[in-house]
Structure 1
Amino acid sequence: LDKEGESTIVVRDAQLRILAEITFTLCRFNQQRTLFIGGLQGAANDVPHEIIQQATKACHGLFPKRIVMEALCQFAQVFQAEQIIAVSNDAHVYRSWRYMDKKTQMHADYDAFWESLGGERIKGNYYALPLAIARKSESEIASKKRAEYRRRYALLDSVVEQVPVTFKR
């Protein structure tokens, strides 16, 4: 991920295996203080899929990539980013001609993930992402799922509280 940004936020399990990581740079983009996402990765190929499933279950249905995104949004707030911009599939560094023959191929669909978070494609093959990820209101959640969503949102709230303490300006 060293070509995708200057900093990385990582979600690990209790055995310190990487489950998700996001690489980014704080910069100025279109005259605004910007958190620019250059890469998002899940667990390595040697991490069994069951580990991701267990982590998702332990996090009340939240995928590790969603948790790392929530942490990133809070990081952006701590550092007063005015916008979050993410690279699209087409603009990713590993899509350039110099990496075509190498083993650094992309497997993830960035575009679909950014869109699932409310991201909108903008000029330059990038995505403008919301500064905060929207949460469903209780009325939008089926009654049999509300307890799970309360636990899920409590977990996300703990992430929101921890990030400013961890990353002080």
Structure 2
Amino acid sequence: MFLEIYKLGKRIYDLSNWREMHRFVVFMARVLLNFSAIGKLYNWFKDDEQRFSILEKNPFLIEQATRAFFYAGSRLEERVSLICNHIELLQSRFQSEWGKRLAAYDSCYKIWKSKEEDINWYAQLTMEPGQRKEGLLSVMMLLDGNPLYQIIFWLDKDKNGDASMWIGAMQGPNMEDARDIIKDITKRSYRYRTKNLILYMTMAVARALKVKHIYAVSNEGYYAMNHARRDRKLKTDFGEFWEEAGGHKTEDARFYEVPLIEPRKTMEEVPTRKRAVYRKRFAFQDDVDDQIGTNMKKILRG
């Protein structure tokens, strides 16, 4: 078994690069120090033909268990359980082929597309190895193939055993003209902030997956500190954002619970001068719900 994990490690790291070689050595040291738990995880994959085919395509799943990924203070046994539960929930929710493809990080599936003909603006379910520190799957919004916003998540059971979605990170655009692009996208979504829109899409995915809860990392729970500037002030205050979206703190300070459905104002609550914009926004949101619900049904089990 050790030799098999060694071969997986050689596929994860580019051994022609000395930095990658160092990471490979550290990875193998961690495997040796935690061989009982990592060996059980490897055998868990090997005991199921579909799961093992996922691991063969995505060896990062073993690496993720050995490193303090996903959320602050995660323990090895928690990460092993998280990975197993995520894969099992994908297998139970998705049609066999799509569960395998999404878990293996080798596919994307379009869940929404703007109806405006002058823009190539869409959203998809996907995952990139470079995002593996914060999760196992993502809802990504793109413009002409370039990521605008994404929410990275995993599926796991909560303390009550309920199937839940756990948000590990929310990331915005990284491009020179990002401000102008986001300004244009906000206009097209009728003054609906782009980061609210990516959460709205993620909620729709969660409902399609029939999970019972959405949990999201707080500032204390975020794995990395790249949401903070050098002066330690936050670029994004996760707690403030989750609360704006209707969320509340949980007993674990590292997580908020976020509603499955975004609270929506009634027209009586909207100032008269803004009602025309809100009607268009609500119609836009309803289209997002309809498209995601319809497209998700095509790859989910009946």
TM-score by length of 1: 0.88
Alpha-carbon shift at residue 45 of structure 1 (Å): 4.8
Separation in 2, partners of 1:146, 1:109: 29
Aligned to 1:12: 142
Give the alignment's Cα RMSD to 1 decimal. Answer: 1.8
Q: Deviations for 1:97-121, whole angstroms, at most 9, x for unmatched residues?
A: xxxxxxxxx7321111101101101
How is 1:61-100 mapped onto 2 (pairs within 5 angstroms)? 61-95=191-225
Relative to total residues, which structure has the larger strand share, 1 or 2?
Answer: 1
Of 20, 30, 51, the residue aligned with 2:181 is 51
Aligned to 1:110: 238
Separation in 2, partners of 1:86, 1:72: 11
Alpha-carbon shift at residue 65 of structure 1 (Å): 1.3
Which residue identity does 1:24 align to in structure 2? F
Relative to total residues, which structure has the larger helix share, 1 or 2?
Answer: 2
Percent sequence identity is 28
Separation in 1, partners of 2:178, 2:208: 34
The question of whether the paired residues in 2 share the 8 Å contact of 1:55 and 1:64 is answered with yes
Does 2:264 align with 1:135?
yes
Which residue identity does 1:137 align to in structure 2? T
Of 255, 273, 276, the residue aligned with 1:147 is 276
Alpha-carbon shift at residue 12 of structure 1 (Å): 1.8
Unaligned runs of 5+ in 2: 1-130, 226-233
Bigger Rg, structure 1 or 2: 2
Alpha-carbon shift at residue 9 of structure 1 (Å): 0.6
Does 2:122 align with 1:3?
no
Unaligned runs of 5+ in 1: 96-105
Alpha-carbon shift at residue 17 of structure 1 (Å): 2.6
SS in 1 for 2:133: coil
Count of matched residue pairs? 160
Q: Relative CO higher for 1 or 2, CA cutoff 8 Å, sep ≥ 6?
A: 1
Does 2:288 align with 1:159?
yes
Alpha-carbon shift at residue 76 of structure 1 (Å): 1.0
Which residue identity does 1:84 align to in structure 2? I
Regions of 4+ moved over 6 Å: none
